[in-house]
Structure 1
Amino acid sequence: MSYLASNLRFLRKQKGITQNELAEQLDVQRTMISAYEDGRSEPKLATLKRIGELLEIGIEELLEHDIEKLGRKALQNRGINILTIAADENDNENITLVGQKASAGYLNGFADPEYMEQLPQFHLPNLSKQTTYRAFELAGDSMLPLISGTIVIGAYVDQLRSVKSGRTYILVTQTEGVVYKRVFNYLEENGKLFLVSDNEHYKPYEVRGEDVLEVWEAKAFISTDFPNPGDKKKALSLEDLGEMIRDIQIDLKKLRK
């Protein structure tokens, strides 16, 4: 089964190109584009190659892969981007801090060395020198007990397929900006990631793999606020705390005997 018609329509709309504009670039009538997208006609090989160039996709994927349903095939093996890394005078990597106010600019500047050099940098001991880390300041209360203003330190994930379901990540996406969520990986099934907030008042949502610019796996956080077990909005309730204390008491009694 050929997916040319649906893929052509989907990719054209995704890039914001009208049928008239595509027809002009291919030097064909607009009615031919309509016929291609309806499945009433197929382009000649030379035109097909030109379509692939314009839409930045291989002919095999354009013809044989259901992109709208499964996402771009190449996502499963691609690196997310080439990182811009900050280093000290001894060539040791620093951790760049992306604050709340810098989050919007980060979407356009994360690959720009001049922009990245302007962001605050710091160093933490005992971190792996084989991994690149970045820090992001949280905004909002979607990931309680971590509150707004908490700084989460993430380790760079260079392959989307390496995202492990159920773990927390900082994602930089074209559609949602910089977010910190619990992520479930459905790239194999439908080309998407499912994002869940630890605060039940926020609804889960999906992002397409192709919209992800960077992924950082949460490894540590810095906060001036200690979680309060008595706050019902926190992940740890009084009942949870009581159960933990009872378990500890039972263990202590066993040790004394």
Structure 2
Amino acid sequence: MINLSKNIKHLRNLKKLTQEVLAEELKVTRSRISSYEENRSSPTIEFLIDFSKYFKIPIDIIVKNDLTKATDVSFIEVGNKRVLFPISVDSDNENLIEVVPSKASAGYLLGYDDPEYIEQLEKIKLPFLPTGKHRAFPIKGDSMLPMKDGSYVVAEFVEDIKNAKSGQSYIVITKDDGMTYKRVYNQVEEKQTFLLKPDNAAYQPYEISVSEVLELWQFTCSINTQEYEEHELKISSIIQMFNGLGVELEALKKAMH
């Protein structure tokens, strides 16, 4: 529990709080704070819940990680990785999701690593999501049918982009192109690149260098903001069928050579 004692002290110092002030905020004695910070005793579950709510950081992150390298309570470096902390929680200690607004999505490229920008984003709660840091991103265009323009993709932050899973869909934040939603194929070991492939065959796949990627978020679920028309569903189904058929024909062609 050494990390825990150091984290309690470090997070208190980041907030510029004395032991007395923190004790008053959490309704405990100053000696208890001192005892936890010096690792003379282990915090109670009740204390950890209150501490977690006060700092808006989930308990498992406080317990499992060494947060002493943090210089800010919103963005924390763990090793050489930039990890987004805290996961916002509500009064019931349930995760909240930041929503990147559609009209101002271009501003995300400038504000993605600015705690003040992230802090002012609207937040929603989706209780069925798995654990992890999630964010909702607006979708523009029709390159990822049947996802409609104006929909939102809720995605989970990927700490190490080199671990991206080929064939999975990701929100990709790049230096030059900003925000895009594509199916990613991992070519890091061979070429230090990702292949970004739209599901809509009308658009061509393209490669980007790993060094261009600022953030990677893996698809968790989507939120449609418009109802589908019957003919749209048929069109998207046909497109998907032809896409799949193209893959099969390509494989058959190779097998015959």
**TM-score with structure 1 setting the length:** 0.57
- 1:128–1:239 CA distance, 2 compared to 1 (3 A): closer
User: Highest relative contact order (Cα 8 Å, sep 6+), 1 or 2?
Assistant: 1
Q: CA–CA distance in 2 between the matches of 1:239 and 1:211?
A: 30
Return the offset for 1:89.
3.8
Q: CA–CA distance in 2 between the matches of 1:210 and 1:230?
A: 41
Return the offset for 1:100.
2.2
Alignment of 1:56-75 (within 5 A): none
Gaps of 5+ in 1: 1-76, 241-257
Q: Secondary structure at the match of 1:124?
A: coil
2:150 is aligned with 1:149? yes
Q: CA–CA distance in 2 between the matches of 1:127 and 1:238?
A: 29
Q: List per-residue Cα deviations over 1:62-97 (Å, max 9, x = no partner).
A: xxxxxxxxxxxxxxx963x33254333455431001
Query: Which one of the candidate residues 105, 108, 113 is aligned to 1:106?
Result: 108
Equivalent residues of 1:78, 1:160 under 8 A apart: no
- 1:159–1:106 CA distance, 2 compared to 1 (3 A): same
Q: CA–CA distance in 2 between the matches of 1:189 and 1:114?
A: 38
Q: Secondary structure at the match of 2:116?
A: helix
Match of 1:236 in 2: 237
Return the offset for 1:167.
0.9
Q: Secondary structure at the match of 1:82?
A: strand
Equivalent residues of 1:137, 1:152 under 8 A apart: yes
Q: List per-residue Cα deviations over 1:100-137 (Å, max 9, x = no partner).
A: 222211112112121112111100112223x1111101
Q: Secondary structure at the match of 1:165?
A: coil
Aligned residue type for 1:200: A
Match of 1:83 in 2: 84
- 1:177–1:239 CA distance, 2 compared to 1 (3 A): closer
Alignment of 1:130-141 (within 5 A): 131-141=132-142
Aligned residue type for 1:106: Y
Q: CA–CA distance in 1 between the matches of 2:157 and 2:202?
A: 29
- 1:185–1:160 CA distance, 2 compared to 1 (3 A): same
Return the offset for 1:238.
9.3
Equivalent residues of 1:229, 1:238 under 8 A apart: no
Match of 1:115 in 2: 117
Q: CA–CA distance in 1 between the matches of 2:145 and 2:234?
A: 7
Query: Which one of the candidate residues 88, 101, 126 is aligned to 1:124?
Result: 126
Return the offset for 1:179.
0.4
Return the offset for 1:224.
3.3
Q: CA–CA distance in 2 between the matches of 1:92 and 1:238?
A: 39
Q: List per-residue Cα deviations over 1:152-198 (Å, max 9, x = no partner).
A: 11011111122111111001111210100011110101100000111
Match of 1:214 in 2: 215
Larger Rg: 1
- 1:93–1:238 CA distance, 2 compared to 1 (3 A): closer
Q: CA–CA distance in 1 between the matches of 2:203 and 2:117?
A: 32
Match of 2:96 in 1: 94
Aligned residue type for 1:170: I
Equivalent residues of 1:141, 1:148 under 8 A apart: yes
Q: How many residues align?
A: 162
Q: CA–CA distance in 2 between the matches of 1:93 and 1:208?
A: 33
Q: CA–CA distance in 2 between the matches of 1:102 and 1:169?
A: 20
Aligned residue type for 2:108: Y
Q: Secondary structure at the match of 2:102?
A: coil
Q: Secondary structure at the match of 2:237?
A: coil
Q: CA–CA distance in 1 between the matches of 2:166 and 2:240?
A: 27
Return the offset for 1:207.
1.0
Taking only the aligned residue pairs, the percentage that are identical comes to: 39
Alignment of 1:164-175 (within 5 A): 164-175=165-176
Q: CA–CA distance in 2 between the matches of 1:91 and 1:125?
A: 11
Match of 1:187 in 2: 188
**TM-score with structure 2 setting the length:** 0.57
